[in-house]
Structure 1
Amino acid sequence: MTENPPRRQVRPVVENPDGTTSRTPIRDGRPLLNFRSPRVTQPPQHLADMTMDERITVVKEMGLPGFRAKQLSTHYFVHHTTDPEAMTDLPKDRRAELVERFFPPLLTEVHRLRTKNGDTIKFLWRLFDGALVESVLMRYRNRITLCVSSQCGCGMNCPFCATGQQGLTRNMSSAEIVEQVIRANQVIAAGELADTSGEDSDMLGNPAAAVGSEADEEQGREPTCASGAENGPGRAERVTNIVFMGMGEPLANYKRVMGAVRRFVEPAPAGLGMGARRITISTVGLVPGINKLAAEEIPVTFALSLHAPDDGLRDEMIPVNTRWKADEAIDAAYNYYRTTGRRVSIEYALIKDMNDHAWRAELLAKKLNARGRGWVHVNPIPLNPTPGSVWTASEPAVAAEFVRRLQDAGVPTTIRDTRGKDIDGACGQLAAAQ
């Protein structure tokens, strides 16, 4: 069934500093795509960059018994502290030296913004070299989710994303990624995140899919807080879900992202002891990276940011589509499901008159169903505005029709919430502005 009358088609444009626009995602002379981080100085090695065996080796090189590595790891991953005065089980005359070696400063808080009800906090961090990144902490009814950044900027150059228009400064280290979680846990422990959260509704007034809920969508079950480092009776609250949906393309920084993931899932005190299903890695479609992730045997939740099912539009919206087409990305997502048994999320930013046409919902459903049923869940996301953007979110009636077409085709679909939009902390809004 087609729309009657047919709605207009808006094409992506990039606004240049001189006021002109172009249809090709090229900005300030930057290359169309940037998969490699510039050669820059990396931060000093941190405990979170090391395996437990590597920590033991370093401790022994300092003339101390190997069990001190476990004690240091407990302070960091269990108690979330790097304060030498709190490490009373370590030799007093060596504490400062150990902290200097294992816990070099990685993140300096520049400022934070809170929503009115305090259930969402956006942090701006300055890294050791002056680069700026953001992360967003969100309390939901049954989870606390942290959206982490994995790169300083992004090289994917998607024209509707504030981060994508910054270009890529450098990759973040594994420890810089992990430290965002540790610092968030400190904020939670200090009582600085609101202790309750209201019900989230989407633009249609229905219950919205929460950021970090991808893990719970696998079998359509209600979220729980019952295992590992997740919150439960008698436990200090901490981050329960991590989503790689902040600044950067995670699969373009594959090695360091997976180093961080291993720290997240390793049992304490080697790591945080989180369940892999509570970690979501999102990508715009780096097919080799998706296939590599599927072979890791760490069954994280996987999300593909598709945003258009047809190559004609996706080439312009998602420049990486000029390298790997939409069907190749969907095939890789389906392979991830077949390899891991983990249901995949399809992220789809609904942009007025650009990609929200009903026929595109039908095409998306056709492509997903052609690979099978029960393997995927679609999360439409009303476009979150960025300063100076020429685009806006779809009209509610249009979004409702888009969702209806998908659901009528048997594709599970839930509109994503826009938590943090009022503090520029929602998807696509992170720009590390001071």
Structure 2
Amino acid sequence: MTSLKPVSHNAQRLALRGDLLDFRAAPAWGQLDPGSALRFQPDHWLLIENGRILGTQAEAPDASWQQIDHSGRLILPGFIDTHVHCPQLDVIASYGAELLDWLNTYTFPAECRYADPAVARLGAERFLDALLAHGTTAAVVFATVHKVSADALFEAAQSRGMRLITGKVMMDRNAPAALLDADLAQSERDCVDLISRWHGRGRLSYAVTPRFAPTSTPAQLAMAGALCRADLSLYMQTHVAENRAEVAWVSELFPDARSYLDVYAREGLLHPRAVLAHGVWLDDADRAVLADSGAQIAFSPSSNLFLGSGLFDWVAAKEAGVAVSVASDVGGGTSLSMQRNLLDGYKVQALAGQRLSAWSGLYAATRGAAEALGLADELGHFGAGTLADVCVWDWAIGPVAKARDEVARGLHERVFAWMGLSDDRNLHSAYVAGVQKFSRSNSR
């Protein structure tokens, strides 16, 4: 492909030509005909002015626009990863453990290193650059218990202009001493200070982050709930019902709770800005509580398969009215590529007798995630006025994928084959608020 005019990364008016695909609304789950929910505009121009999407059109814009011709490439909104751990890049693809053993053997030792400001800074930069290189332009992220690790993530995201939701992890029991909050008051002070400095600054938001129920005392969970009630604009992120042994442990630690989810519900941690990872072992009563609260489940299929945690029932969640987004959960998950995670999501649903369409998967990783996070006015689609978080992809890389692409029958078959065969190698370029932050030509 050739550029029609030299491109400045600081261009005020930028036009990208390619096959534009995004969603106006949620497609029916599993249906191959998306109806009007899908907006596919082959060989169109996406117009970006001052970092925001102005609109789309079939004809080339006038000479006042910086024009880049990506004819024959797929252009999507940037992916949104709703659950991922920055420090766990160091332990991705670690062998032979289920969740609780995996935490003790691999994760906790890796997170201890993030007490060092230099480690935290370099780790945050490497992590965010890796997200961008996989086509993920926004994320809900776990730091570590160390305040400096959250600072490092916020600073690195701000310098890249990214939408980032994160917070220092809260733990005061059942973890190594180096990963425990000194005391309840200090944990609260650290959170309040981070909130005051970062929450609502640019595209940054704070998430109250109790790691999971077993590593927080009831008093710490109550404090986390109080923070949420004090400022309804705060997010909350944690884990729930990922693994059967974990669920049994929670029932021992919180014998008065009806369920694992109830531990959080009783402390006011379930609300429209709550993101709960996994939710594999929930029952109908739990799903009703989630639906009433407006909280979402971050489905993490690669992680659930790799750690042998179980098979998430997406259909049951949807039928109960629970919002579901898609997440990599690296390093329990084995790839930051959203396509690889969506393919694993298809496999999980297939084992349950369901079929995840490309439309339902891609919606959940773009506009669906933005809506669940209350950010649909900002990102996740090509609606006028949204910030131009945009990724340009090759439809196929390599002879096998190219042969498959050539014989695809219909749009869904083509997009599903792309979802199943593509990964970060297909990413040509990534833009954040209209500024190019990744280019394949500069990544080698």
Structure showing the higher strand proportion among its residues = 2
| TM-score, with structure 2 as normaliser | 0.37
TM-score calculated relative to the size of structure 1:
0.38
Structure with more helix by fraction: 2
